[in-house]
Amino acid sequence: MRLERQYHDLSRPIREFAFVVDALEEGLRLDALLRAHYPWKSRTHYQRMVARGDVLLDDRPSKASVRVRRGMRVVVKLPADPRAPEQETADDLVFLYEDDALAAIDKPSGMTVHPTGRIRHGTLINKLHARYRSEEEDADVVPRLAHRLDQDTSGVVLIVKSRRVDALVTEQFTRREVEKTYLALVEGVPDEAEGLVDAPMKRDPHGGSHLHMHVHRDGQVARSRWRVLRAFRRHALLALSPLTGRQHQLRVHMAHVGHPILCDHLYGDVRPLMRPDGPDVVLLDRLALHAHRLQLAHPLTGEPLDFTSPLPADLRLAVDALAAGEGNA
């Protein structure tokens, strides 16, 4: 049986999560380990799950106080989700490109790319499994995400269709040979036409979320380029290019230089963008960040690939309204 066949078919309801204890986790209590992996539930909640037998350690029930060892397999059984469809569908996916090795998807804002504890269906990877998974071994394809976008970020996502292609594309990302360009509406207007943010980043222990990052001198190297495309009186449309690949890098860097991306609930002002003139009308109520362009070499042929997603309608309308209401700077 091929290795890919061992992966769950995510086009059907997810009944469990599983992971293997690594070296850094050895010695943790089982309930603390579960809280670390799935922080959206309390430690008490996981203690009750363990007591009910909903958590297995190496295929056996256990106790919340057990200290785990490296290599142990943890399985968390999930209750049925009445909202989950019996079969996911890929009918609403927009493909920018596809061949036997990879595909490029134009992801809408609001779509999560991968199942989490809170969101277990309707994600991009669920839908891709609906398109590519098959009961026939020779036809079965396990799609993988070559990179990720935040839930509220729209735009280009690259999909790979095999482990070999995944490794080759990952190598391009590691060597920083993949070029990514984002479009963003930001607060204020930069003084210069373009610039470089060179500010190391690390997780923020006081950020209120395990995903929260901040600029810190002891962080990992993080560099981003920005360029003004259109300037209004109080806002600007920028082209952003991450030169490194840190989590939330563009969002953190733009906030760091005093121009946070609009409607950013973590690093800026979560309030929606209102129409600058006329009635009290919401122009935009989602993160104003769009993955506009992705360029790389085809992992098998070396052919240059250039995938572009146009500015989506909600951001385009916001730009037009700002131009009409604020005028150009």
Nearest-angstrom CA–CA distance, 258 and 190 = 9
Owner of token pair 């509406």: 185
Q: Can 150 be counted among the known catalytic residues?
A: yes
State the Cα–Cα distance between residues 296 and 177, nearest whole angstrom.
7
Would you say 272 and 282 are in contact if contact means Cβ atoms under 8 Å apart?
yes
**DSSP code of 122?**
S
3-class DSSP assignment, residue 65: coil
Q: Are 97 and 104 in contact (CB under 8 A)?
A: yes
Exposed, middle or buried, 280 (CB in 10 Å: 0-12/13-18/19+)?
Answer: exposed
Kindly name the residue from 150, 152, 166, 204 that is annotated as catalytic.
Answer: 150
* Cα–Cα distance measured from residue 265 to residue 271, given in angstroms and rounded to the nearest whole number: 8
Q: State the catalytic residues.
A: 150
